[in-house]
């Protein structure tokens, strides 16, 4: 009898890239529900545009390279990029900006470098940063969340989201329904020499434990993130380091000057903190690769985000922090090779 002589090992665990990616999408669901409940259905509109654009861009890039697009479309990685971008942009963004950002993310952030596994930068953050730099006004206009003012109904929010999605002039009809995010308001307020307690006392910025609206999204993202950690799809190093890098300095600064510096709770539950810590920074392709390297990488993201939030020109520095640490990844990898068994340290 003849047999096939493939090399060892002859078994594999069978936990594949598509399954990892779809677990990540699943873990985003709680944050998505919170997002829709607080900011209206804009997220769903952005998601649909982002997903369609991402799949088309991925297919086009692979067709152009003469490769089979089917396995790449099935592996789900491009959908993760689309989801992360859709979660990061304001739900009121005109659809063509969402589409532009997604196309840039997939083409410039990923396929220029060779596609899955090759990109040094997080594609979603590339798309987001380009949009933020090029369209600062559109990118900082958010709906006023549901938990700020009880007189607004969700259906009004829905109609406004749709109008914004279609590119209508929101200022004409929906003024008062849109505004800056909490971090942006705090930043502007501090710029006008208000103190932090004064700003927080206004009530439209922060609730009991974090920023209005964003606190719940962050909480939901934390829950989804903990699910990923418990399933060992995401290992704990990066989230812990990101949160440590952000919260430790904010704790110290808040203790030194509570009049200006944001406290750790507010930092943790505002902006894109949890989304960054558990979903964006943990993209393995653009993250450092050893456990020790991942601690450095995550701490760097947290610290840079804190620096930008505290002194920088942008209210939420998470995207830039991720990109800045992305470009340091090969450098980190070079100096954080773990000790090999049997070798001297």
Of 154-193, which residues contact another protein (CB under 8 A)? Answer: 190-191
Of 303-322, binders to another protein (CB under 8 A) are 304, 307-308, 311-314, 317, 319-321
Under rule CB under 8 A, residue 88 binds another protein? no
Say which residues have a Cβ less than 8 Å from residue 59's Cβ, sequence separation at least 6: 69, 73
Which range of residues in 16-24, 86-94, 141-149, 216-224 is near another protein by CB under 8 A? Answer: 16-24
Under rule CB under 8 A, residue 284 binds another protein? yes
Say which residues have a Cβ less than 8 Å from residue 291's Cβ, sequence separation at least 6: 235, 237, 338
Under rule CB under 8 A, residue 272 binds another protein? no
Beta carbon nearer to another protein, 197 or 339: 339
Say which residues have a Cβ less than 8 Å from residue 80's Cβ, sequence separation at least 6: 21, 24, 25, 124, 283
Which range of residues in 141-149, 162-170, 242-250, 280-288 is near another protein by CB under 8 A? Answer: 280-288
Options 106, 280, 287, 303; binder of another protein; rule CB under 8 A? 287
Structural contact between residues 217 and 31, judged by C-beta atoms closer than 8 angstroms: yes
Under rule CB under 8 A, residue 324 binds another protein? yes
Beta carbon nearer to another protein, 119 or 270: 119
Of 107-146, binders to another protein (CB under 8 A) are 108-109, 111-118, 120-121, 126, 129-130, 133
Under rule CB under 8 A, residue 331 binds another protein? yes
Q: How many residues does the chain have?
A: 345
Which range of residues in 28-36, 38-46, 63-71, 167-175 is near another protein by CB under 8 A? Answer: 63-71
Beta carbon nearer to another protein, 130 or 158: 130
| Start-to-end Cα distance in the chain | 51
- Least separation in angstroms between residue 16's CB and another protein is 5
Beta carbon nearer to another protein, 38 or 62: 62
Q: How far apart are CA 85 and CA 122, in angstroms?
A: 10
Beta carbon nearer to another protein, 161 or 270: 270
Closest CA to 323 of 86, 104, 129: 129
Beta carbon nearer to another protein, 25 or 324: 324
Q: How far apart are CA 21 and CA 72, in angstroms?
A: 12
Under rule CB under 8 A, residue 8 binds another protein? yes
Under rule CB under 8 A, residue 26 binds another protein? no
Q: How far apart are CA 105 and CA 57, in angstroms?
A: 9
Which range of residues in 82-90, 135-143, 218-226, 337-345 is near another protein by CB under 8 A? Answer: 337-345
Under rule CB under 8 A, residue 259 binds another protein? no
Name the β-bridge partners of 206. Answer: 211
Structural contact between residues 143 and 180, judged by C-beta atoms closer than 8 angstroms: no
Count of residues of this chain found to bind another protein when the rule CB under 8 A is applied:
77
Under rule CB under 8 A, residue 337 binds another protein? yes
> ∠ CA(337), CA(238), CA(261), 5° rounding?
125
Tell me the backbone φ, ψ of residue 179, rounded to 5 degrees. -175, 180
- Least separation in angstroms between residue 22's CB and another protein is 12
Under rule CB under 8 A, residue 13 binds another protein? yes
Q: What is the DSSP string of 77-137?
A: HHHHHHHHHHHHS-TTS-HHHHHHHHHHHHHTTTGGGTSTTT-SS-HHHHHHHHHHHH-HH
Under rule CB under 8 A, residue 68 binds another protein? no
Return the number of other C-beta atoms located less than 10 Å from residue 115's C-beta: 18
Which range of residues in 7-15, 47-55, 87-95, 264-272 is near another protein by CB under 8 A? Answer: 7-15
Which range of residues in 154-162, 174-182, 267-275, 323-331 is near another protein by CB under 8 A? Answer: 323-331
Say which residues have a Cβ less than 8 Å from residue 221's Cβ, sequence separation at least 6: 28, 30, 31, 274, 275, 278, 279
């Amino acid at each position: 009898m003849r047999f096939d002589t493939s090399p060892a090992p002859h078994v594999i665990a069978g936990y594949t890239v598509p399954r990892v990616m779809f677990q990540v999408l699943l873990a985003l669901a709680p944050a998505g529900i919170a997002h829709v409940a607080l900011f209206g259905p804009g997220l769903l509109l952005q998601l649909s545009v982002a997903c369609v654009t991402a799949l088309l861009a991925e297919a086009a890039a692979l067709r152009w390279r003469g490769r089979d697009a089917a396995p790449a479309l099935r592996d789900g990685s491009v959908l993760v990029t689309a989801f992360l971008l859709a979660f990061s942009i304001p739900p009121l963004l005109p659809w063509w900006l969402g589409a532009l950002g997604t196309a840039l993310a997939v083409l410039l952030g990923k396929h220029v470098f060779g596609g899955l596994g090759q990109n040094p930068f997080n594609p979603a953050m590339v798309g987001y940063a380009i949009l933020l730099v090029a369209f600062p006004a559109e990118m900082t206009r958010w709906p006023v969340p549901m938990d700020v003012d009880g007189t607004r109904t969700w259906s009004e929010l829905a109609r406004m989201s749709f109008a914004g999605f279609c590119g209508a002039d929101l200022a004409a009809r929906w003024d008062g329904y849109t505004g800056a995010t909490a971090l942006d308001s705090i930043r502007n307020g501090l710029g006008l020499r208000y103190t932090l307690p004064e700003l927080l006392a206004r009530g439209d910025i922060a609730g009991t434990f974090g920023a209005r609206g964003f606190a719940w999204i962050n909480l939901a993202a934390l829950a989804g993130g903990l699910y990923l950690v418990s399933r060992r799809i995401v290992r704990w190093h990066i989230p812990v380091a990101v949160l440590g890098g952000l919260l430790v300095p904010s704790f110290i600064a808040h203790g030194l000057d509570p009049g200006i510096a944001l406290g750790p709770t507010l930092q943790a539950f505002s902006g894109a903190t949890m989304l960054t810590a558990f979903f964006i920074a943990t993209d393995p392709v653009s993250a450092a690769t050893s456990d020790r390297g991942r601690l450095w990488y995550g701490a760097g993201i947290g610290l840079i985000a804190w620096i930008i939030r505290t002194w920088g020109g942008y209210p939420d520095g998470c995207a830039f922090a991720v990109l800045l640490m992305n470009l340091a990844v090969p450098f980190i990898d070079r100096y954080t090779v773990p000790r090999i068994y049997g070798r001297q340290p």
